Each structure stands twice: as structure tokens, then as C-alpha cells.
Amino acid sequence: MDADGLRSRTRAFLEAHPPATTDRLDFLRARFDAGLAWVHYPVGLGGLDAPRSLQAVVDAELEAAGAPDNDPRRIGIGLGMAAPTILGFGSEEQRQRLLRPLWTGEEVWCQLFSEPGAGSDLAALATRAVRDGDDWVVDGQKVWTSSAHLARWAILIARTDPDLPKHRGITYFVCDMTDPGVEVRPLRQITGEAEFNEVFLTGVRIPDSRRLGEIGEGWRVAQTTLMNERVAIGGGRVPREGGMIGLVSETWRDRPELRTHDLHQRLLRLWVDVEAARLAGERLGQQLAVGQPGPEGSAMKLAFARLNQEISALEVELLGEEGLLYDDWTLRRPELVDFTGREAGYRFLRAKGNSIEGGTSEVLLNIIAERVLGLPPEPRTDKDVPWKDLPR
């Protein structure tokens, strides 16, 4: 299908489902069923087997018609991480059951990967899954889980064979967050809020039918999730001077009394860095349109974290005492992170997490060095040692 055919198809859909008179959820469900959710997905799973680049044609027509979206920021983990993993490794039954309510936002997803004792070294995870007939019994603890307090489903990796080296013997599951034994506790952050959680899994029974990929292939499946996660975090398309650099630039123009020569030089450098990152993101988007995400997404996520932290620090310094104001230290449970609609003090504090979430900056530097630049890998003496023999 070409762009003209897809444009005509979208207009016909809008005629049959006028946004002004169609219930929002009914509209989103119908859009998925019409193949206009992810045009590059298979027919019957929200797509039309069309080139990924044509999604922009659909989105433009729908936006012009005032059509509702699926609130992508709220369900970003499902859209950016769970969906491509389910598509790549899920059974047909799993795809049919999970993808539609994921895309419409009826079911929120979270990610049960990180653990207190296996932060940057995800492959060292200790959460166990033991086979019991047609079920797996899972015990362990996960941490830094965004949206766990809202989620119905989670993507989960657990150790199923401690006799194998750490990267092997891991299996990937879909966990129902409403099942007995799943306990979600808030983690209070430096911002005073608790968008993150720690999750305790005690005797949680997961049917083998909710396994993604083969037993022991969880690390390979997780790579699909992680590559898509880094693109989702760092590769979002923004307009020129959009995002946080736009806020600082606007303050600079409106408040000449705050300006100094040093701050001017720093703002100019950051503006250029942001623009270079934006153009690199456009290029990454073009690569995604013709294939799957690769390690280049790690570079975008790395740049995203550094720029957010440097820009927010500049903004606080520019505003002086005013930049320290932060009006709400109560324990709130937000549904999404809002970098642009809050105070400068909030942005400065929240940006500190950008170099941890979605892969630490140190890990991303290793990925870029080895998989993009082709440099020799760091020595790893534990790759062939059974997990049970590793010091902890």
C-alpha cells in the first residue's frame, strides 16, 4: 500500500467513525481493527503490513480531523517495550489477547527487570522461576518499576536454571500484576513523588502459556525490549527548540536581567548539542522505518540523559533563587513524568534519574564502544561461570 492508498483508507475510516460523535474508546478500538494503529504490524494486529514510514500519513490525517490519541505518554512502556517484544516472540494467541488493549490504553504495562542486587548487571538477576506442572512459581524482588501501581501486566525476566552462566538460564514471562503474591510498594524519589515502585513476588504462579520465547532464551528476548526501550526514551521526535531547551531559551529571551556572558555561552553550546541530537534522532527514525532498532538507540538515550541534566542545571542557575522553588513535596503517585509542565526545580531533580533509567550511562557507553564503534570488549571473567557460583 502506498501513501495515497493509506490516506484514502484513513479518510474513509474517519467518515465511518467521526471523532466528534464517536466514543473515544470505541474510536481507538475501531482504529486498531482497521489496521491504523501500527501500520507496519501484521493485518489483524493493528496493522496493514505496510512500511513503517507510512504511519506519519495516518497520524497527520487523524490529527487534522481532531481524532483522539491513545495517550502514548501514559502507556509508553506498553507501546515502546512490551508490544514489539510480544510481536517478535509471542504466540498468535498472546498477540491477539494482549496487543489490542495495550494499544488502546485499556491495560497499562510495566517492566519487571531491575533488581536491588543486579542493577547495572541485569544478567545477574536472582528472581527465580521454578517449573511446577503447567505453571512457573516466581519468587524475588524487582525495583525502579515505573507505573507498577497502575499496571495490569508486566514483562518479567527470571532465572530458571541457576546451573547455567548468567546470560543463559533466564526466561521471559508476562506477569499478571493482579495475581496473588504480587505486592507493589512506592519508592519515594528525590522529587518527593513516587512514580517508581519496588515489586515483591512471593509464590506468584505464571502459566507456561504466558512465556515469551523459549525456556532459557530470556536474555535474547530481553534485548529486543531493551533496544526498543532506549529508542522510546531517547529517540522521541521533537520540533526544533522543543522540550527543555525551548523552556530555557524562552526564559533567556523574556528575562534579560538574568543574563551573563558565561550563561550565554553555555546556552549556545547546549542549543547546538540539542539540535544535533534532534537531527540524529530524525536519522534514527528513518532507520527504524526500514528495520529494527539497533545499538544506535543507546547513543540517543545517552545524549538524552546528558542534555536533560545539563539543561536543567543551567535553568536553575539562570533563575537563581527562583530556580530553587518547588511547590509540592507531598508523596504523589503521578501517572507520567512531565518535564515541561512543572517548575525548574522539579526538572533539575527529576533529570538525575535519566542517566540510570533505561540503562545506566556507563552501560550504554560500553554498548556504543563495542557494538557501534567495534572496539574490543571489556574482559568478562564471569561469562562462562554458572550463576550459582558467582559471588553475591
Q: Which DSSP symbol is given to 369?
A: I
Q: What pLDDT score was predicted for residue 288?
A: 64
| Alpha carbon distance 160, 139 (integer Å) | 11
Q: What pLDDT score was predicted for residue 294?
A: 65
Return the CA Rg of the chain. 22
Q: Taking each helix axis from N to C terminus, what angle separates 296-319 and 218-234, rounded to the nearest 10 degrees?
A: 40
Q: Which DSSP symbol is given to 343?
A: -
Is 229 assigned a catalytic role? yes
**pLDDT per position as a tens digit, 262-299:** 999 999 999 999 999 888 877 776 666 666 666 767 78
Q: Taking each helix axis from N to C terminus, what angle separates 218-234 and 261-289, rounded to the nearest 10 degrees?
A: 130
pLDDT band at 75 (very low <50, low <70, confident <90, very high): very high
| Alpha carbon distance 200, 277 (integer Å) | 38
The kind and range of the H/E element at 254 are helix 243-254
**Residue 20 has which C-alpha cell?**
466528534
Task: Give the percent of the chain with pLDDT over 90.
Answer: 65
Q: What pLDDT score was predicted for residue 392?
A: 75
Q: What pLDDT score was predicted for residue 292?
A: 63
pLDDT band at 117 (very low <50, low <70, confident <90, very high): confident
Q: Alpha carbon 6 to chain centroid distance?
A: 28
The whole-number average pLDDT for the span 128-153 is: 96
Task: Give the percent of the chain with pLDDT over 70.
Answer: 93
**pLDDT per position as a tens digit, 305-362:** 999 999 999 999 999 988 888 776 666 787 777 777 788 998 999 999 888 887 788 8
Catalytic residue among 61, 115, 198, 229: 229
Q: What pLDDT score was predicted for residue 1?
A: 75
| 295 CB-near residues (< 8 Å, 6+ apart) | 227, 367, 368, 371, 372
Mean pLDDT for the chain? 90
pTM confidence score = 0.87
Q: What pLDDT score was predicted for residue 111?
A: 96
Q: What pLDDT score was predicted for residue 255?
A: 92
pLDDT band at 128 (very low <50, low <70, confident <90, very high): very high
| 239 CB-near residues (< 8 Å, 6+ apart) | none
Does the pLDDT of residue 48 top 70, yes or no?
yes
DSSP symbols for 120-158: S-GGG---EEEEETTEEEEEEEE-S-TTTTT-SEEEEEE
Domains and CATH numbers, the chain: 3-69 (no CATH), 109-216 (2.40.110.10), 222-372 (1.20.140.10)
Are residues 197 and 176 in contact, defined by beta-carbon separation less than 8 angstroms?
A: no
Helix (H, G, I), strand (E, B), or coil: what is residue 241? coil
Does the pLDDT of residue 234 top 90, yes or no?
no
Are residues 41 and 87 in contact, defined by beta-carbon separation less than 8 angstroms?
A: yes
